[in-house]
């Protein structure tokens, strides 16, 4: 996704403090205030900051980092805490788990700086990584836990005359953000001087126009952002647009007028619900024979890689071995952000998600998802072992489609979503849909899909489907451990029912 910036060239910054005791309120967190104070002092570019205080739980750290990059659209994320050798220190492992590429120089330089003060710097396991999606990329850096060490690591060391002795890591951050397609970050040189090759430097503010009219940061040539024009290539090919390679054979038959051939009479094969390049199939790294096939739909603004690790996470919570089939939503311009095309299953034209709904888009996506399930069943997977599910917008499509299936499936799992076109359900729910087990999970503090809308959806569904399980959790638009435990248990129940 292209991050929706409030002003041109704005840096979207994520600050994450990892601490068991601070997250429980045992003592006041010092990491985020220290990070924010330093960043506001050093960075002169406009900043929008998103803060997260979380416990030393690998699952929570991974989900937070994915949310900040894939949903919020952060360009840079700075974490503090959880980087030592203690067993609860798992920040580096979680960071590497969500990374697409490691940037080892950052960790090496951080340990070099700390080594000037304490010999225990060699015990630090801080890492720097990139997390990249097809449309966006972010730099993630693990920093020390103490405020003084945070400033030293970012700024570096100076002699008595104020000359740099050891460069801080932030000197390289702005150019790194340039190279991955982010905003052009400028700094207060009295705090830290951003280094760029001469060819990558812009004129100073005194020589250039005001920042609001400054040209956009150059995009790296090696990774051009997808454009809306690519989206139509991902749509199903209509039957009348049969590939031309099939036509000459038919024409030659008509000229020679031989006896009719069976292959000429056959209809053109139906286009697949999703193009092969738009499908990601994944399973647990530990292997095993799949007990279920789960068609999982991602949320708005991300892509199918967002849940690539879900099979492993399901297993961690004692769920069944699942083969996940992850389709990609098409790129589209949304009414809410017309200048920022992103992946979405349908448009949201109203001020609220359940207002002035995109009925055409919802129904078209539902048709494609149902066709994908039919294709999986045609491959030999029993429908009782197929589960449809998703997160946010993907959850909404899963509920809409699952309740209208012509033939039953094993179940529907809907996380942080709602039921679109809820008023049509009573007349459109099929007999198969009415007896499909459904698991709905939602956050009590969801800031994207209001809890009241999710609760109304559950009330409507409960009137047509007695196999509904609806749970809420003390969280925002995200996942939590209790929810994952309940989801894994639901999937286990579907697998056990299919076995009987």
Residues known to be catalytic: 392, 446, 477
φ/ψ of 29, rounded to 5, equals: -65, 135
Cβ–Cβ under 8 Å, residues 170 and 177: no
Beta strands in 298-383 (DSSP E): 322-327, 331-332, 342-343
Q: Which residues contact 162 (CB under 8 A, 6 or more apart)?
A: none
Rounded Cα distance between 173 and 185, Å, is 9
Alpha-carbon distance of 278 to 328, in angstroms, equals: 5
Q: Which residues contact 366 (CB under 8 A, 6 or more apart)?
A: 397, 400, 401, 404
Distance set, CA 274 to CA 236, 243, 311, 395 (Å): 6, 17, 21, 18
Q: Cα 449 from chain centroid? A: 16
Matching residue, tokens 């788990």: 97
| CA-wise closest residue to 211 among 50, 47, 341 | 47
- Within its chain, how far is the Cα of 43 from the centroid? 27
Query: For residue 379, what are the CA distances in angstroms to 270, 308, 326, 382?
Result: 15, 22, 16, 9
Q: Which one, of 492, 375, 396, lies nearest residue 442 by Cα?
A: 396
Supply φ then ψ for residue 484, to 5 degrees: -65, -35
Question: How far, in Å, CA of 203 to CA of 244, rounded?
Answer: 54
Query: Rounded CA gap, 380 and 110, in Å?
Result: 53
Closest CA to 88 of 169, 179, 22: 22
283 and 321 Cβ atoms separated by less than 8 Å: yes
Contact indicator for 170, 192 with CB cutoff of 8 Å: yes
């Amino acid at each position: 996704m292209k991050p929706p910036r409030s002003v041109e060239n704005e840096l979207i910054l994520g600050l994450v403090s990892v601490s068991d005791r601070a997250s429980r309120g045992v003592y006041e967190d010092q990491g985020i205030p220290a990070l924010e104070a330093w960043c506001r002092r050093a960075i002169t570019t406009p900043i929008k900051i998103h803060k997260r205080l979380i416990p030393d739980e690998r699952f929570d750290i991974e989900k937070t980092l994915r949310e900040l990059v894939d949903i919020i659209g952060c360009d840079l994320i700075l974490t503090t805490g959880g980087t030592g050798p203690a067993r609860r220190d798992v920040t580096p492992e979680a960071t590497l788990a969500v990374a697409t590429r490691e940037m080892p120089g950052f960790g090496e330089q951080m340990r070099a700086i700390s080594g000037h003060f304490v010999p225990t710097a060699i015990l630090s396991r801080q890492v720097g990584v990139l997390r990249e999606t097809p449309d966006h990329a972010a730099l993630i850096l693990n920093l020390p836990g103490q405020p003084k060490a945070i400033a030293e690591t970012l700024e570096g060391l100076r002699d008595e005359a104020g000359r740099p002795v050891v460069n801080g890591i932030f000197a390289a951050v702005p150019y790194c953000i340039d190279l991955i397609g982010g905003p052009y970050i400028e700094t207060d040189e009295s705090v830290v001087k951003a280094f760029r090759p001469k060819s990558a430097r812009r004129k100073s503010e005194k020589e250039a126009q005001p920042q609001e009219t400054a040209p956009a940061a150059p995009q790296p040539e090696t990774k051009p952002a997808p454009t809306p024009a690519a989206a139509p290539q991902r749509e199903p090919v209509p039957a009348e647009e049969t590939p031309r390679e099939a036509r000459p054979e038919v024409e030659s038959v008509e000229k020679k007028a031989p006896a009719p051939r069976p292959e000429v009479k056959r209809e053109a094969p139906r286009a697949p619900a999703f193009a092969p390049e738009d499908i990601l199939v994944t399973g647990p790294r530990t292997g095993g024979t799949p007990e279920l096939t789960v068609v999982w739909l991602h949320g708005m603004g991300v892509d199918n890689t967002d849940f690539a690790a879900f099979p492993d996470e399901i297993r961690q919570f004692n769920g069944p071995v699942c083969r996940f089939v992850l389709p990609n939503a098409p790129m589209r311009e949304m009414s809410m952000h017309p200048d920022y095309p992103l992946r979405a299953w349908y448009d949201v034209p109203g001020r609220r998600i359940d207002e002035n709904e995109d009925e055409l888009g919802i129904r078209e996506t539902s048709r494609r998802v149902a066709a994908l399930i039919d294709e999986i069943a045609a491959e030999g997977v029993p429908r009782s072992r197929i589960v449809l599910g998703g997160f946010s917008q993907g959850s909404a499509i899963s509920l809409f489609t699952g309740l209208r299936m012509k033939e039953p499936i094993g179940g529907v799992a809907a996380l942080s979503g709602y039921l679109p076109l809820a008023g049509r359900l009573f007349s459109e729910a099929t007999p198969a849909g009415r007896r499909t087990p459904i698991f709905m999970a939602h956050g009590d503090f969801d800031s994207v899909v209001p809890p009241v809308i999710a609760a109304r959806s559950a009330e409507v569904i409960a009137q047509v489907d007695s196999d509904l399980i609806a749970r809420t959790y003390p969280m925002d638009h995200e996942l939590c451990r209790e929810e994952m435990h309940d989801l894994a248990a639901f999937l286990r129940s579907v697998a056990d029912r299919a076995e009987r």
